[in-house]
Structure 1
Amino acid sequence: MITVKEEKQRIDYLLKRDNVTDEELEKIYNEGVNQLRAIVDKSFNTYAVDGVLVPNNFARKVTKKDMVLLKEQYDKLPDDLELPEKQRLDYYLATSQMLLGKLITATLGIALIGLTHKVVKVIRQNNKTAVDEEYYYQKKNLKSPKKSKINQIAKDNYVFSNQDNNFVSWTERLWLDHDQLLNRIDNSLNSMLRQGMRAQDIAEKLFPGNAKSMRNDNIPKALIDATVSAKRLARTEAAAREDELTDIFFKENKIKYFDWVTEPGACKKCLVIGALGPYKVDDEASPRIPGSSHPNCRCRRVPAKVIDDYDKIDLIKKALAAGAISSTIKRDEENTRDANEEDKNIPVDDNYYKYKEILGSDMPSKENYNRLVEEGGKYLDNLVVDYMRRLRLKEHPELKLPNLDNMVFPEPKFTKYLFSPKSEKGWAKGLILKEKLGYSIDNYKEYIQELKRLAPLYPAKEKEDAGYGAKYEQQFMMYNDYGEPINIKVGWIVPKENLDAIRYTSSYIKEVNSSERKNSTRI
């Protein structure tokens, strides 16, 4: 039988495999930026008058000579185009004949077809790898179903056992993203043309190599967003197929109950699901991945022990506790829903959703976010820094803090130092924490829980060992009631007397280093 420890190790492996796929997708989109830049540069050099390109330059019929630019991109397309690609290609070729401006858009669209075609292949192969590897992983411990039944799960149009009627295949979603990406690029280009586009505008506004922030839209930024979406899609589709395989193995082996094993840095929703297990395998109300959790979820399901009469008593107790927990969660959800009802109608820029993808429940409300954008300054910079830190750990999981399953928080560090007026050095730090975030001796245990929750979400930097054990440093962002990110520096040590633990040593508010702030905004 697979253990929780083995499943945790499996999650670590899957996260590393996801990062390899992420790198493949990033490479495709980075090459796409260069390809689109070449098209825009060539269009400018060909059609600009006196160094300026305006809509009137494109308001004429297309000649044979004009078609050379489109043909260059057409010739780069592979021979094995599929139906969605052929449909879009036919549409772009037809619209390219209308006006010169339409020709440029069609040329960009054809280039994006080639790009999206490569992305489809990467995700398709990723799905196949996920199914094959999961099959052999489960097979080591459980009786195996027929492989012919398993092979179907890797197919693009596979119908999942928990699939609803509103299901949209991943290929359809990817091509919808393609359409949105082209529209966004076309809008950016047309916006520049209306102002009169010059050569420096291409370098500084359409394709900035060193933008100071992510606030202004541009073509590389649109490609970055498409990369994030593709990576999310790849990870979610792989996880869904692995979970489907898990379900098949459970039923083949007549496993009745399962537990939910959370990934490092799991969200509150998944933590609650994990706490309320075990669940019945054949119960439609039992949670599944990602349907019951969220996109990008890397939690797993593991067989739970058989329930006997004694266990039923514990389950009844747990059910009663779950009722209390559920009512609390329900109240929280209702409050959140009320806030979201007001929040969802507030317009925000595209960056909001990109940040939220990584920051999750820590993301400020739309109202607070818009205020941060309007005010500018350090809190908006801190938001971007937070995004980059968390993204860095996702891309480099080897930087995670060790021994997260065995975290030790010595209470005197909080009660006799940080929040004690008798400690001159600690008290000063604690007063700032109270002022900025509301933590004090009255709720220091909540502060400990927040440190514990955030530790798996940020990269750790190893410091010099002074002879007592390996030391580590992390920097978190904690958000106050106004949605303002406050930077916290946290110290840890792996004590020599217990090498399987990670012990808290210190924490205090500190401004973000100017070099990190500068580098984080250069995207």
Structure 2
Amino acid sequence: MSPDKLIDYFSFVVQDILSQVSSVDDLQNDANALDLINSILKTLDRLKATVADVIPEQILKEYFGGVDEGTKLLIAAGLEIKKASAMTKDGKVRKEFQSTMHLEAVQNIVEDTMMDLNAAIRTAQKSARASINGVLDAIKKDIANGLIVGDPRKVIQTRVAKSFADNGLTSFVTSDNKRLPLDFYSQTVVRTKMRTANTTGAVNRYLENGVTLVKVDEHQPTCHVCAGYGGKVFCPDGSDKRFPDGPLPPYHPNCRHTVAPFLDDFHTDDEIQAELNKWNNFKPDKDVRSAAQRYAYEHEQAIRRQANAEKKQYANYKMVLGKDAPKTIGAFRRMKRGNTSKFQALQKEYRSIMQTKSTVRIMPHVPGYDKAVFPDAKFEKYILNNAHPEGGPKAEAFDHVLGYNLTNKDELIQNIKDHLPTTKATFKGNNGYGDGYEAIMELTGPNGRTAPVLTAWFKDNEETRLVSAFIIDEKKSNRKRGK
């Protein structure tokens, strides 16, 4: 899953949760309200598992992609070094690039990214719970005060939906108390960290080849922040005190600036002085662009806003309509901008599905179960890893309740495989790249105890693979086989 697909998946999860909220009847019933809260929390737990799968691999690719770009720019600058890709075709880092500098840099960016995204998801979980409970408490007071007469269910549903629309999936609160929704904040984090990985890879490639100065590229149109730093020289490791050590790009989530090596041995004293002069009277908050440059930037941004809005709308349509949606974003744009009869019919179908109270589809089993993929890393690094910050409690539950741990993970995999042919699956939606399914099965562990285990699956055109598994109700686990 690419970074863009992960961003789309965050949007899909948010849409799925809003659909869950709109499809629940009688939230005045405490059991129904609790079921909704638990369903939302589990949906966000699955999102955490997906993040844990995707982020390390993508950070690795972005970082060493930056290393490769750095190699090309060093050669172009006149440095004699061997031209070699940092990664093999099957995604492995070549031995000569497995230095402490590179591996530690990747690990630090991965940890920072995971920390930010997991914190955002935890905040969203708390926010969702607070939104539902807050509305229900307010409704109960209004009923007691006689402000709501008759059946309050419609009022509850309307208020809960509005609460979620306002702040139900808040993932971050800024210093000026702005509430950032989960899909927006995650997009900001993912894009920023990916660009950081790419830039860091290039910079470290320069440093390990003895190049301590870098120059930020210039391009137009650009924003007022980037305009101030474009074309300036930095010394990332601080060894050359003539130049500042940062900040380096990205300067914002959508920043396209890169850094090239600046070899002072290849420049005259006058050229180096000219670079130093650029820092005279530098003010980071000053907009140094001309009126024409500002206009060009705003015009470009307006076009991008329209394109992004259409891209987001297309992703939503594809998530909901699946194969019935246009095959490409280009086809969707042409239909929409022309307001064709096909687009009007598509819009009607989309709205009809979104307004349906229940879109649950039960399948006789997980599609493609007979050739399902069970990634070893999923079990070793998450499902059965007691040390994992998010998966740890689930791993402990598997060990404590059923007796499964890393020493017998193959037995757990086989147990799940044995139950797949006879276990019904719930279709959880299409995110535009594949279908999601859940299958809950009663598993008996090597200790003879039985417990309900939720397994989550993703099916695309290539394969069906397990993405998560965890015990969903330990209270129902205290029974032996046959009792």
Does the pair score TM above 0.5? no
- Range of TM-score over shorter length: 0.3 to 0.5
Normalization by structure 2: what TM-score? 0.45
TM-score by length of 1: 0.42
